[in-house]
Amino acid sequence: MNKFSFIKKLHLHLFLESSLPSHSLHNLYSLEELIITECPKLQSCPIKYLPSELRRLTIENCMELTSVVGLQSLNSLEVLVLRNCPVQKFSQNKHLPSSLHSLTVTDCKSLRSLPLLHCHNSQLGKEKPQQSKLQNVHVSGCWKLIVLAGMQNLKLLKSLELKRCPFLEIRPDECLPCRPTHVEIIDCPKLREWCEGHQFECTLVCLL
């Protein structure tokens, strides 16, 4: 066992390679939190090589990062934060980890779809939703985001913030099964009807 295997928190800042050191990260068996900031050449984040015990993942200001796939392999992930990255897609299998408690996505201006719902195959071969553990969902400044799927499965949701996502739509049948204690819907004009159905205030301030 190497001397770094007991590291619980790692911050990669100004890492200058195009991909993360996957094999080195895989050997960090005790890693619980990984923070990646301002890595100007980073293009891919091989999630499948990260330790399965990882609980918190933060990626910020990586201006070449267009894809973060394989998140569903992180079965212990509780907190996911993605800020100011040109990510276009989150997951190859169209779902986030069902273990997530908190999701924050801000200023990812190329992101078009954000699937909150985790599905598994039943014995009948049909996909059924697995109960989400998400309690906090904060999405803002995602100008191209049009789909936020799985709202109807957020039974434990306590805080919902959707801001500055002008093209975001949520289907009327995707009704929240609970009423969060904190709700902010700002500058998301296409959510007016959905908000009215939930008696949420939809505020339009400025999209510039």
Please enumerate in sequence order all residues whose Cβ is within 8 A of that of 162, keeping only pairs 6 or more positions apart, or say none: 137, 139, 140, 148, 168, 184, 185, 186, 188, 191
Q: What are phi and psi of 183, to 5 degrees?
A: -135, 130
Residue 109 has a pLDDT of 93
- Which tokens belong to 77? 């992930």
Please enumerate in sequence order all residues whose Cβ is within 8 A of that of 37, keeping only pairs 6 or more positions apart, or say none: 11, 12, 13, 14, 58, 59, 60, 61, 62
Residue 127 has a pLDDT of 52
Q: Which residues sit opposite 33 in a β-bridge?
A: 9, 56
Segment 141-158 shows an average pLDDT of 92
Domain ranges in the chain are 9-203
Please enumerate in sequence order all residues whose Cβ is within 8 A of that of 125, keeping only pairs 6 or more positions apart, or say none: none
pLDDT of residue 46 exceeding 80: no
Residue 112 has a pLDDT of 92
Q: Considering the chain, what is the average pLDDT of its residues?
A: 86
List the end-to-end C-alpha distance of the chain, in Å, as a whole number.
53
Q: 9-203: which CATH architecture?
A: Alpha-Beta Horseshoe (3.80)
Provide, rounded to the nearest whole percent, the portion of the chain with pLDDT above 90: 53
How far, in Å, CA of 130 to CA of 121, rounded?
A: 10
